[in-house]
A and B are shown apart, each in its own frame.
Chain A
Amino acid sequence: MSEEKYIPKSKLAQWFDSRLPLLTLSHHLKEYPTPKNLNYWWTFGGILTFCLITQIITGLVLAMHYVAHVDHAFDSIEHIMRNVNYGWLIRYVHANGASMFFLAVYIHIFRSLFYGSYKSPREVIWIIGLIIYILMMATAFMGYVLPWGQMSFWGATVITNLFSAIPFIGESITTWLWGGYSVDNPTLNRFYSLHYLLPFLTFGLVILHIWALHVPGNNNPIGIDVKKNSNETMPFHPYMVMKDITALLVFIIIFLWFVFFAPNALGHPDNYIEANPLVTPSHIVPEWYLLPFYAILRAIPSKLGGVIFMFAAIFILMLLPWLDTSKVRSAIFRPIYKKFFWVLVFTVILLGYLGAKPPEGIYLILSRLATFYYFFHFLILLPVLGRYEKTDPLPMSISDPVLDKPGTFDKFKKVASKYEGENVSSFK
């Protein structure tokens, strides 16, 4: 980075830092230059870190009381809810925490889509982020199986059966995943093991995600490159730390509202019925955050095709930095893309809604239209739009859109002079 070399003050600190530069690292994190125009959509990175740590801590605690065995799993969850001190609180935080985690990650991803944060030179950050997202989905799915309720069991059955669509080897793969001829005790045990492992892999990837971010630095709402360590940036601490904490507190209020007032609103009541391999519930739905992909799966009238399209819907995002040919990052300066961005948001929400409905009649038709648009958006629209869209002129500096507004600078001068009472022309 372009910062000057940091040298700790005391001799002891220098001795330590020259052997393990932790102090240099913490200095870097503190002084890390952030664009001064970052808005609240940029606080979701910090919020997501909070979510991951919350899930790991509450999960660690739940693992102290949970029993991964088909005969005891369901009862051990009830034991946590009724007997363990504050077990109800810890479990509800963990269960709703998963939903809040996905809520935050979707906002984070759509922020990236709107402001073009995935574009050069940030492609690696984007791809690591998507791997984190895929790991999150796998972790959440396996976590949902652990309570061994009806939705756990049949969700696990349906999702693992996706792999049976693979020609020739599909059958043996599902058998291998199950460790048997159906979802049973071996499946539960391995899911528990992996559910415990994956968050730590995710944590490692989060470190890489942040590392990769700190090489080019943050994108910003204007989407143009900022000069680092100039009057266009501010040190991460305390400015962004305070902004992140403010947003985090609002997020926690919403989170805890769910935990205390509607802890089961996002879950499915059938999961309070113990798993029964002989009876499938009349209507199986995954958790809300997987619904858009579930809708795509069911929109395609072929077993293998549905599976391919569902996975493609996720993996297509990996190619996004190259599919979007526009050199302009922020949608603020792309009048046509901006409209289609909102069409995409609407389409994904619509797919989520359709995923929760039975795949018949109008729902099926709409699922197919929405699935078509989803792929059209990424495969056709973005490559073409980058070539033909007439973008608005980009400002020279991230300060310009604010300062160029008529009267802004005078107003700023007036406010600043009230506090300083002296010459403020040096501010510009």
Chain B
Amino acid sequence: MNKEIKPKRRDFLFTATYTIGAVGIAAAIWPLVDQMNPDSSVKALSTTEVDISGVEQGKTITVLWRGKPIFIRRRTKNEIDEAAAVDLQDLKDPEKDSDRAKNPEWLVMVGVCTHLGCVPLGDKGEYKAWFCPCHGSHYDSSGRIRKGPAPKNLEIPKYEFVDNNTIKIG
């Protein structure tokens, strides 16, 4: 009985052939899939430098990075204190303001509502900060979600201060 169940030479050859065939087909399909990923010319645009010397306190500028708006706000003393004073227990997505702004005066965020991708309006909503008109999400002066359907705070992109007047995003 056992002898008959033992795989034969031909079974081995079949399995080996199918395996090599499957690997070959997968290798041929991968370029066809990968070509839809961002190409090198898109990746080359992944950093943007912004001159912030002209931005006054209480003003926001919006720049384009990777096709998305980036809010750069020079916050007032009042806004900074307000953001720092919030009890983390009140937040849907708890995050300290100091973790969100490298320099408390400058808030840099991706201006895309974390609900379904609309661009929130500035100086609006219950917290007099950001408000998304699409489905009514309210964000505070640190860009944290306080009320409405959005699940997360406004995203903070990777950025750094190149010097006092320049931010490099990405």
Q: Which residues 24-82 of B sit at the A interface, judged by CB distance below 8 A?
A: 30-32, 34-37, 39-42
Please give the distance in Å from A55's CB to the nearest CB on chain B. Answer: 13
Please tell me if the beta carbons of B40 and A90 are within 8 angstroms of each other in the complex. no
Please give the distance in Å from A80's CB to the nearest CB on chain B. Answer: 9
| Docked pose: A65 CA to B36 CA in angstroms | 9
| Docked pose: A8 CA to B149 CA in angstroms | 53
Known contacts A79-B41, A83-B40, A83-B41; decide if A57 and B35 are in contact (CB<8 Å).
no
On chain B, the residues within 8 Å of A87 by CB distance are: 35, 39
A64 at the interface (CB under 8 A from B): yes
A86 at the interface (CB under 8 A from B): yes
A159 at the interface (CB under 8 A from B): no
A85 at the interface (CB under 8 A from B): yes
| Docked pose: A64 CA to B36 CA in angstroms | 8
| Docked pose: A87 CA to B41 CA in angstroms | 12
Q: Which residues 18-44 of A sit at the B interface, judged by CB distance below 8 A?
A: none
| Docked pose: A90 CA to B32 CA in angstroms | 8
On chain A, the residues within 8 Å of B35 by CB distance are: 61, 64-65, 84-87, 90
On chain A, the residues within 8 Å of B34 by CB distance are: 85-86
0/1 interface trace, chain A 87-127, chain B, CB 8 Å (1 if under): 10110000000000000000000000000000000000000
Please give the distance in Å from A284's CB to the nearest CB on chain B. Answer: 32
Please give the distance in Å from B27's CB to the nearest CB on chain A. Answer: 11
| Docked pose: A85 CA to B40 CA in angstroms | 8
Interface residues on A, range: 10 to 19
Please tell me if the beta carbons of B41 and A61 are within 8 angstroms of each other in the complex. no
| Docked pose: A334 CA to B30 CA in angstroms | 50
On chain B, the residues within 8 Å of A79 by CB distance are: 39, 41
Please give the distance in Å from B43's CB to the nearest CB on chain A. Answer: 9
Please give the distance in Å from B9's CB to the nearest CB on chain A. Answer: 14
On chain A, the residues within 8 Å of B40 by CB distance are: 82-85
0/1 interface trace, chain A 46-69, chain B, CB 8 Å (1 if under): 000000000001100100110000
Please give the distance in Å from A411's CB to the nearest CB on chain B. Answer: 24
Closest A residue by C-beta to B32: A61
| Docked pose: A89 CA to B28 CA in angstroms | 10
| Docked pose: A80 CA to B5 CA in angstroms | 53
Please give the distance in Å from A245's CB to the nearest CB on chain B. Answer: 9
Q: Which residues 293-319 of A sit at the B interface, judged by CB distance below 8 A?
A: none
| Docked pose: A58 CA to B37 CA in angstroms | 16
On chain B, the residues within 8 Å of A82 by CB distance are: 40
On chain A, the residues within 8 Å of B41 by CB distance are: 79, 83
**Of A64, A65, A83, A89, which contacts B31 at CB under 8 A?**
A89
A-B contact pairs, 21 of them (CB 8 A): A64-B35, A64-B36, A65-B35, A65-B39, A79-B39, A83-B39, A83-B40, A83-B41, A83-B42, A84-B40, A85-B34, A85-B35, A85-B39, A85-B40, A86-B30, A86-B31, A86-B32, A87-B39, A89-B31, A90-B31, A90-B35
| A interface list, Cβ under 8 A from B | 57-58, 61, 64-65, 79, 82-87, 89-90
| Supplied contacts A79-B39, A84-B40, A85-B40, 19 more A-B pairs, CB within 8 Å | A57-B32, A58-B32, A64-B36, A65-B39, A79-B41, A83-B40, A83-B41, A83-B42, A84-B35, A85-B31, A85-B37, A86-B30, A86-B34, A86-B35, A87-B35, A89-B31, A90-B31, A90-B32, A90-B35
